[in-house]
Amino acid sequence: MPLNWVLVLTTFLFCVGVYGVLARRNAVIVLMSIEIMLNAVNLNFIAFNGVVGGERLIGQVFALFVIAIAAAELGIGLAIVLLIYRNSFTVSLDEVNLLRW
Amino acid sequence: MDVNLTALLPEIILAVVACGVMTIDLFLPKERRGAAFMFSVVGVLATLVAVLNLYGQNITTLGGMFVVDRFAVIFKIVFCVAALLVFAVSHAYLKEDGEIPHGEYFTMMMFALLGMLTIASSRDLIAIFVSIEMISIPSFVLAGIRKHDIRSNEAALKFFLFGVLSTALMLFGMSLFYGIAGATNLADISENLAGRTDIEEVSLLAILFLIVGFGFKVSAFPFQWWVPDTYEGAPIPVAAFLSVASKTAGFVGLFQVMFLALGSLAGTWRPMFGIIGVVTMTFGNLVALQQKQIVRLLAYSSIAQAGYMLVPLGVASATNTELNTTIVFAVVAYLLVYAFMETGAFASATAFSRRGGGYMVDDYAGMFARSPVLALAMSAFLLSLAGIFPFAGWWAKLVVFQALIEGGGLWLAIAMGINTVVALFFYSAVVKRMFFDRSEVTTAVTLPPVLAGAIGIAALVVVVGGVLPDLFGRLAQNSHFF
């Protein structure tokens, strides 16, 4: 499979993620969108590894690190969203706006 | 693969102590929970000793991922000292607050510190990414540690969303660079990129992603929106920790990637940093002018300070190593001074927000009559941030100016000069309130000894560093990594 096809796919996935983060107001969906972005990054690393990596699997190892850390990060994220839900009964980002300049 | 345990000793000690404090805290009776503070201080002191032991050495280990050199060691010292100061401030704050769990608080701080120690030594994209996340993830928890306070929740949520988004963008940039250069080690990337002419567009895109990612970490415009909200909602010591330690760590990562890996592309990223730096400081200073609340004022001032530290990158050169050394020297010097004046300012704000004080700038009226020593210390930090002699800030600004002029960035120097004048307005407005305005309240603000000690040390360093700038100068001089 040519590298370009994969890159088009990952860029598309990444843009879907960015759109989700910017446009959706539900905190849980925003978390999912971030996960999509990170998966686009993982695909990128693996695709590049096939082209430039050769014997060394640096790209794949990087993807493993990203997966592990994304899990930790999303765990914290869900905990924060849960806290907000407990305290103010909402997961909508628009309603979380006490702090303003 | 070789593993040099001597080089890793500080990190190992800190990781063990952090896990230890977390475990011990479970078994302590409720009224003894304060012990976590003592354990953490001892642990960080032990780490600091292990770091000092490495001074002057050059060790490369873990297959080139982890390097101990002067640059790394100096920043590790700064991180440890800043963490100790923040611990002291936190001690007073937590006692007053009563709701925040001590064990978890200090454990999280130590895990974040661990990430800072490793980022100073990282010479590989993977290591830099993991270190940044090791700093960020505990910071999210710290920002939201007042679980029942909805403002703290909101601070954590905003910080988290911006932080994770920036990480994803940065990772995309890193993946592109991996694709171009076929390596993640910074030195290998630099080697593989040198002389390539077919990568102009893709490297521009990748650099943009990296700048967005690091821009969030160092709170550069237009990625600074989370800063004031997070600083205001989080406990004040956490805000101090984020504005000093976590921002410094962002700068360290930025330096390593930009100079060690992408030095040959300086022509591409130089103008971006010049523009971002100027806009960041202008925005920070102009918005700070209108702030009524001291933590928000400090937050916007810290955004402006990030701008001062970004502009020197705007005159970096792809070939002139000597100029790059001057630039790194200037920013390292600024970061060293900044660590003390910013921690000091936040510590004084914490002290004043306690019993008898307040959060608003108006509450500072007549503070000199009430607590002269605290008012003097706070003025020293604020004037140092403004860059007034004889406080260390003037010298930090001077070296940045010198680097800008040497690099031919005259318009950057002029922009910075104008900003310094604008900044003087709001810093001196607070000082004026403390010294010349009167208030009905005349009781002194009480200071616990640990907090007073932290403020005293920071004030001493700021004053001595301003009179004898050689002190910082020699430290920063040794930190070149080229």
For B307, phi and psi rounded to 5 degrees? -60, -45
Distance of alpha carbon B175 from alpha carbon B108, whole angstroms: 29
Q: State the pLDDT at residue B115.
A: 94
Specify the amino acid at residue B480: H
Total-model pTM: 0.93
A95 belongs to a structural domain: no
pLDDT at B83: 93
Q: Is residue A51 part of a domain?
A: yes
Q: Which residues of chain B neighbour A72 with C-beta distances below 8 Å?
A: 133, 137
Q: Is residue A83 part of a domain?
A: yes
Establish if A84 belongs to a structural domain.
Answer: yes
Q: Which residues of B touch A (CB under 8 A)?
A: 125-126, 129-130, 133, 136-137, 140-141, 144, 147-148, 150-151, 153-158, 160-161, 164-165, 167-169, 171-172, 174-176, 178-179, 181-184, 228-229, 232-233, 287, 291, 296
Does any domain span residue A100? no
Q: Is A36 on the interface with B (CB under 8 A)?
A: no
Cβ atoms of A41 and B172 closer than 8 Å: yes
- Residue B178 neighbours by CB under 8 Å, 6+ apart: A45, A48, A49, A52, A58, A59, A62, B125, B184
Biggest CA-to-CA distance, chain B: 70
Give the position of tokens 């928000």.
B296
Instruction: Report DSSP state, residue B59.
Output: E
Amino acid, single-letter form, for residue B240: A
Unique residue bearing structure tokens 């869900």: A78
Q: What is the pLDDT along chain B (482 residues), one digit of tens a residue?
A: 678 888 899 999 999 999 999 998 888 887 777 788 899 999 999 999 999 998 888 888 888 889 998 889 989 999 999 999 999 999 888 888 778 888 899 999 999 999 999 999 999 999 999 999 999 999 999 999 988 888 888 889 989 998 999 999 999 999 999 998 888 899 889 888 887 878 888 889 999 999 998 998 898 888 888 898 888 888 889 999 998 888 898 999 998 999 888 888 888 899 999 999 999 999 999 999 888 888 889 999 999 999 999 999 999 888 888 888 888 889 988 998 999 999 999 998 888 876 656 678 778 887 788 888 888 998 999 999 998 888 888 888 999 999 999 888 889 999 999 999 999 988 988 888 888 887 777 777 778 888 889 999 999 998 888 888 887 777 777 766 66
3-state SS, residue B360: strand
Say which amino acid occupies A76.
I
pLDDT tens per residue, range B393-420: 888 899 999 999 988 888 999 999 999 9
Q: What is the dihedral of CA B472, B263, A49, B212, to 10 degrees?
A: 70
CB atoms within 10 A of CB A36: 18
**Residue A24 in contact with partner chain B when CB distance is under 8 A:** no
Q: Are A6 and A43 in contact (CB under 8 A)?
A: yes
Please report, for the domain that includes residue A29, its CATH number.
Answer: 1.10.287.3510
CA distance B440 to B469: 40
- Give which of B221, B272, B277, B216 is closest to B246, Cα–Cα: B216
Give the span between the Cα atoms of B44 and B28, in whole angstroms: 21
Domain that holds residue A31: 3-90
Residue linked to tokens 């706006």: A97
Number of domains in chain A: 1
What ipTM goes with this model? 0.94
User: Quick one: tokens of B385?
Assistant: 């941030």
Q: Residues B481, B115: contact at Cβ < 8 Å?
A: no
A96 domain residue, yes or no: no
Q: How far is CA B95 from CA B33, B92, B102, B352, in A?
A: 11, 5, 9, 15
pLDDT at A101 over 60: no
> What count of other Cβ atoms lies within 10 Å of the Cβ of residue B361?
18
- The C-alpha atoms of residue B383 and residue B394 are separated, in whole angstroms, by 9
Task: Tell me which chain B residue has its CA closest to the CA of residue A81.
Answer: B157
Q: Which of B431, B167, B323 is nearest to A38 (CA)?
A: B167
Per-residue pLDDT at A45: 93
Contact yes or no for A44 and B144 at CB 8 A? no
pLDDT reported for residue A36: 94
Q: Is residue A99 part of a domain?
A: no
Q: Is residue A101 part of a domain?
A: no
Q: Identify the pLDDT of residue B195.
A: 78
Q: What is the pLDDT of residue B63?
A: 83
* C-beta of residue B11 within 8 angstroms of C-beta of residue B115: no
